[in-house]
Chain A
Amino acid sequence: MKPVEESPAAQGRPCFVTRGLTKVYGSGPAAVQALRGVDIELPEGEMVVVLGASGSGKSTFLNIVGGLDTATAGQVLFRGQDMSRANHRELTRYRRRHVGFVFQFYNLMPSLTARENVALVTEIAENPLTPEDALALVGLEQRLDHFPAQMSGGEQQRVAIARAIAKQPSVLLCDEPTGALDSATGIRVLEALKTVNDDLGATTLLITHNASIASIADRVVIFADGNVREVRTNTQKKQPKDISW
Chain B
Amino acid sequence: MTGPLAWFSALDRKLVRDLWRMKTQALAIGFVIAAGVSVHLLAAGMFSSLEETRRAYYERYLFADIWAPAVRAPDALIAEIRAIEGVQAAEARIRMPALFDMDTMSEPATGEVISLPDAGESSVNRLHLARGRTPAYGQRDEAVVLQAFADAHGLDVGDTVPATIYGGRSDLRIVGVALSPEHVYAIAPGELVPDDRLFGVMWMGRRALARAVDQDGAFNEAVVRLSRGASEAAVIAELDRILDPYGAPGAYGRSDQISDAFVSSEMDQLGTMGRVLPPVFLLVAAFLVNVVVGRMIAVQRAGIGLMKAFGYGDWEVTWHYLKLVGMIALLGLSIGAATGAWLGHAMAALYMEYFRFPFLVFRASATDYAVVAAIALAAILGGAAFAVRRAAALNPAEAMTPPPPPDYSKAAGASLTRLSALDQQTRMILRQIIRWPWRAGLTVAGVAASGALLVGTLFFTDAIDAMIDTSFSVANRQDMSVAFTEPRSRAAFHAIARQPGVMAAEPYRSVPVRLRQGPAEERAAIIGTPLDARLSRLVDARGRPVSPPPGGLVLTDDLAARLGVRAGDIIAVEAAEGRRPSMEMPVSAVATSYVGSGARMEIGDLNRVMGEGPLVSGAYLSVDPEAADALYERLKNAPAVAGVGLQTLAMERLQEMMDENLGTSLFVFVTFAGLIALGVVYNSVRISYAERQRELASLRVLGFSRMDVSYILLGEIALLTLLALPVGAAAGAGLAWYLAQAMSSEMFRMPFVIAPSTFGFAALVVLAITAGASLLVRRQIDRLDMAEALKTGE
Contacts of A93 in B (CB 8 A): 703
| Shortest CB distance B583–A (Å) | 78
A80 to B699, CA, bound (A): 27
| Inter-chain contact B435/A105, CB cutoff 8 Å | no
- Contact of B104 with A by CB under 8 A: no
Contacts of B695 in A (CB 8 A): 107, 109-110
> Restricting to A79-135, which residues have a CB under 8 Å from any CB of B?
89, 92-93, 95-97, 99, 101, 103-105, 107-112, 116-117, 119-121, 123-124
| Inter-chain contact A95/B424, CB cutoff 8 Å | no
Question: With A121-B703, A148-B405 as given contacts, are A175 and B428 in contact (CB-CB < 8 Å)?
Answer: no
One of B405, B705, B708, B790 near A175 (C-beta < 8 A) = B790
| Shortest CB distance A114–B (Å) | 11
Contacts of B694 in A (CB 8 A): 107
Closest B residue to A88 by beta carbon equals: B706
Question: With A111-B432, A149-B404 as given contacts, are A103 and B789 in contact (CB-CB < 8 Å)?
Answer: yes
One of B409, B698, B702 near A147 (C-beta < 8 A) = B409
A105 to B405, CA, bound (A): 11
- Contact of B402 with A by CB under 8 A: yes
| Shortest CB distance B375–A (Å) | 36
> Restricting to B681-706, which residues have a CB under 8 Å from any CB of A?
694-695, 698-706
| Shortest CB distance A159–B (Å) | 11
Contacts of B787 in A (CB 8 A): 59, 63, 68-69
Contacts of B428 in A (CB 8 A): 109, 111-112
Closest B residue to A110 by beta carbon equals: B405
| Inter-chain contact B424/A101, CB cutoff 8 Å | no
| Shortest CB distance B259–A (Å) | 65
A106 to B786, CA, bound (A): 14
- Contact of A188 with B by CB under 8 A: no
A132 to B54, CA, bound (A): 80
One of B701, B703, B791 near A97 (C-beta < 8 A) = B703
| Inter-chain contact B702/A123, CB cutoff 8 Å | no
- Contact of B120 with A by CB under 8 A: no
| Inter-chain contact B407/A147, CB cutoff 8 Å | yes
One of A59, A104, A148, A163 near B702 (C-beta < 8 A) = A163
Contacts of B409 in A (CB 8 A): 146-147, 149-150
| Shortest CB distance A100–B (Å) | 8
- Contact of B408 with A by CB under 8 A: yes
Contacts of B706 in A (CB 8 A): 92
| Inter-chain contact B404/A92, CB cutoff 8 Å | no
> Restricting to B751-773, which residues have a CB under 8 Å from any CB of A?
none
| Shortest CB distance B400–A (Å) | 14
Contacts of B708 in A (CB 8 A): 124
A105 to B700, CA, bound (A): 16
Contacts of B786 in A (CB 8 A): 63, 68-69
| Inter-chain contact A175/B424, CB cutoff 8 Å | no
Interface string of A151-177 (1 = CB under 8 A from B): 000000000000100000000000100
- Contact of B778 with A by CB under 8 A: no
One of A103, A123, A149 near B698 (C-beta < 8 A) = A103
| Inter-chain contact B427/A103, CB cutoff 8 Å | no
One of B404, B424, B435, B790 near A119 (C-beta < 8 A) = B424
| Shortest CB distance B720–A (Å) | 16
A89 to B708, CA, bound (A): 12
| Inter-chain contact B406/A175, CB cutoff 8 Å | no
Interface string of A61-82 (1 = CB under 8 A from B): 0110010110000000000000
| Shortest CB distance B553–A (Å) | 70
Closest B residue to A99 by beta carbon equals: B703
Contacts of B427 in A (CB 8 A): 111-112, 116
| Inter-chain contact A92/B705, CB cutoff 8 Å | yes
A117 to B6, CA, bound (A): 49
| Shortest CB distance B300–A (Å) | 20
Contacts of B793 in A (CB 8 A): 104-105, 180
| Inter-chain contact A149/B405, CB cutoff 8 Å | yes
| Inter-chain contact A107/B698, CB cutoff 8 Å | yes
- Contact of B423 with A by CB under 8 A: yes
A150 to B404, CA, bound (A): 10
Contacts of A59 in B (CB 8 A): 787, 790-791
A68 to B697, CA, bound (A): 10
A62 to B789, CA, bound (A): 13
One of B402, B406, B702, B789 near A121 (C-beta < 8 A) = B702
Contacts of A92 in B (CB 8 A): 700, 703-706
- Contact of B207 with A by CB under 8 A: no
Contacts of A148 in B (CB 8 A): 405
Contacts of A175 in B (CB 8 A): 790-791
One of B402, B423, B703 near A95 (C-beta < 8 A) = B703
One of B408, B425, B704, B790 near A149 (C-beta < 8 A) = B408
Interface string of B691-733 (1 = CB under 8 A from A): 0001100111111111010000000000000000000000000
| Shortest CB distance A192–B (Å) | 18
A146 to B409, CA, bound (A): 8
Contacts of A123 in B (CB 8 A): 423-424
| Inter-chain contact A95/B701, CB cutoff 8 Å | yes
| Inter-chain contact B789/A124, CB cutoff 8 Å | no
Closest A residue to B404 by beta carbon equals: A149
Interface string of B92-111 (1 = CB under 8 A from A): 00000000000000000000
- Contact of B636 with A by CB under 8 A: no
A13 to B427, CA, bound (A): 41
A163 to B409, CA, bound (A): 20
Interface string of B778-794 (1 = CB under 8 A from A): 00000000110111110
Interface string of A138-150 (1 = CB under 8 A from B): 0000000011111
Closest B residue to A164 by beta carbon equals: B702
- Contact of B509 with A by CB under 8 A: no
Contacts of B537 in A (CB 8 A): none
| Inter-chain contact A111/B702, CB cutoff 8 Å | no
Of B431, B435, B701, which is in contact with the most chain A CB atoms at under 10 Å from its CB? B701
- Nearest 6 Cβ contacts at the A-B interface: A96-B703, A149-B407, A110-B405, A107-B698, A111-B431, A120-B424
5 A-B pairs with C-beta separation under 8 A? A89-B705, A103-B698, A116-B427, A147-B407, A180-B793
A107-B695, A146-B409 given; 19 more Cβ-contact pairs under 8 Å: A62-B790, A68-B786, A93-B703, A95-B702, A96-B702, A96-B703, A101-B701, A101-B702, A104-B791, A110-B408, A111-B406, A111-B435, A112-B428, A116-B424, A117-B424, A147-B408, A149-B406, A175-B790, A175-B791
